[in-house]
Amino acid sequence: PAQRAFAAVAAAIAAVEPVTVGVSARQFANARARLPAAVRVIEMSSNDAWMRDVGPTFVVDARGRRRGVDWVFNAWGGIEGGLYFPWDRDDQVAAKVLQIENSGRYRAPFVLEGGAIHVDGQGTLLTTEQCLLNPNRNPQLSRVALELLLQRYLGIEQVIWLGAGVFNDETDGHVDNLCCFIRPGEVVLHWCEDRADPQYEISRDAWERLHAVRDARGRPLTVHRLPMPGPLYMTAAEAAGLDAAGSDRPRRAGDRLAASYVNFYCANGRVLMPLLDPRTDRRARAALARLLPRREIVGIPAREILLGGGNIHCITQQVPRPRHRVMKP
C-alpha cells in the first residue's frame, strides 16, 4: 500500500513538473512498472525513504547558479536516540543527487535534516528548538552558532524559533509538519482545538511566538490555522504489516501518529495535500484552496506514508530552475 501512495504522489507531481524517483536495485523494475513513463527512475541506494531529510537543500547563488547544501545526516539522532542504524547510505544521497542534477555542492559541517527548516525565499527561516537544539544533533553548537551557520549556507537573515513540533513526531519535532510559509509574510499552522490534547499547548505556543516576531523584511506574520486530523493511532494490523529492519525503532499498535495537513508539497500550479481523516479532510482542503487560489488542491490518500513516520513533504525535494541559461557549444 505504501508503494501505491508513493507512486500516486510522483504521478501527481509529474503532471506539472519533471520528477525523478530514486529506488534500490531490488525495486527498480517494480518502480518502473508502477510509475508513469514521464517519471525518471534511477537506481540509488539508501537506508530509508525520506528525500526531504537526506537529500540536498537546493539554493540559487548570487550568479543565478543552482547549488545544493549537503547536510550531515544521523538518522534523526545518531546512536543516542536515532531511528535506525546504519545510516551511511542515506548520508551519501545528497551528494549523489547533486551529481545527477549537475549542481554544485556545499558540504555543511553540522547535522540537519531538510524537514527541520522552512524558508520564505526572502531571508526568513522557521525551525523548532525541539529539533535544532536537541543534544542528539549538534551538542557542540549554541543557538547563535547555528543561526550563523544557517545564514552562511542558506543566505537567510533571520531565524524564527518555535518551541516543539507536532506531538509524538519521531523526528524530534520537524517544523515542516507544524508550520510552513505559503508566501512571504504568511504561514499555515497545525492547529488543535481540544484543550485536553497535548498538541493544544504546542500549537498555542507556536501561535504566540509567530505573532510576537517580524520577518527579515520587518513584516508581522499572518498566521492561518489548518485543523489537526484525528488524533490518529496505529492499528495492530498496521503495526504488524510494517516492513522494518531489525535496528529500526519499533512501532506498536496504539502509537499516536503525527498526522498533519501542513505536510504538503507545493508543485507548479498545484498543491499535493495528504488525505488523513474523513472528518477533517474537506475542511483542510477548503482552507488550502482559499489560501492558495491559483493552485489546484490535489488530495492524496496518505495514511500509508504517515505510518512510516512522515508524509508528502517528507518524501519530496523540489529542484529550482537556475536563473541563468547554460550556453551549449
pLDDT value, residue 241:
84
Number of folded domains in the chain?
A: 1
List 179, 192, 266, 314, catalytic entry: 314
In a domain, 10, yes or no: yes
The answer to whether 27 and 54 have CB atoms below 8 angstroms apart is no
pLDDT value, residue 81:
84
- In the numeric block, which cell numbers belong to residue 168? 509524538
pLDDT value, residue 5:
98
In a domain, 224, yes or no: yes
pLDDT value, residue 251:
83
In a domain, 174, yes or no: yes
Exposure letters 184-198 (e unless 16+ CB within 10 A, then b): bbebbbbbbeeeeee
In a domain, 271, yes or no: yes
Strands 270-275 and 265-267: antiparallel
**pLDDT, mean of residues 224-230:** 99
pLDDT: which is higher, 324 or 242: 242
- Checking if the pLDDT of 328 tops 60, the result is no
- Checking if the pLDDT of 329 tops 50, the result is no
In a domain, 322, yes or no: no
In a domain, 323, yes or no: no
pLDDT: which is higher, 245 or 123: 123
In a domain, 324, yes or no: no
Q: Which CATH number does the domain housing residue 39 bear?
A: 3.75.10.10
pLDDT value, residue 248:
67
Burial class of residue 80 (count of CB atoms within 10 Å of its CB; 0-12, 13-18, 19+): exposed
- Checking if the pLDDT of 129 tops 50, the result is yes
Q: What's the rounded Cα separation, in Å, for the pair 46 and 115? A: 18
Q: What's the rounded Cα separation, in Å, for the pair 122 and 185? A: 9
The mean-pLDDT minimum among 13-17, 49-53, 77-81, 169-173 falls in 77-81
Whole-Å CA distances, 241 to 93, 140, 244, 252, 302: 27, 39, 9, 11, 16
Q: What is the mean pLDDT of the chain?
A: 96
pLDDT value, residue 324:
63
Q: Determine the structural domain holding residue 244 and report its residue range.
A: 2-306
* pLDDT confidence tier of residue 179, bands split at 50, 70 and 90: very high
- Checking if the pLDDT of 245 tops 60, the result is no
Enter the pTM of the model.
0.95
In a domain, 315, yes or no: no
Per the annotation, the verdict on 131 as an active-site residue is no
* pLDDT confidence tier of residue 325, bands split at 50, 70 and 90: low
* pLDDT confidence tier of residue 326, bands split at 50, 70 and 90: very low
**pLDDT, mean of residues 263-286:** 99
pLDDT value, residue 246:
46
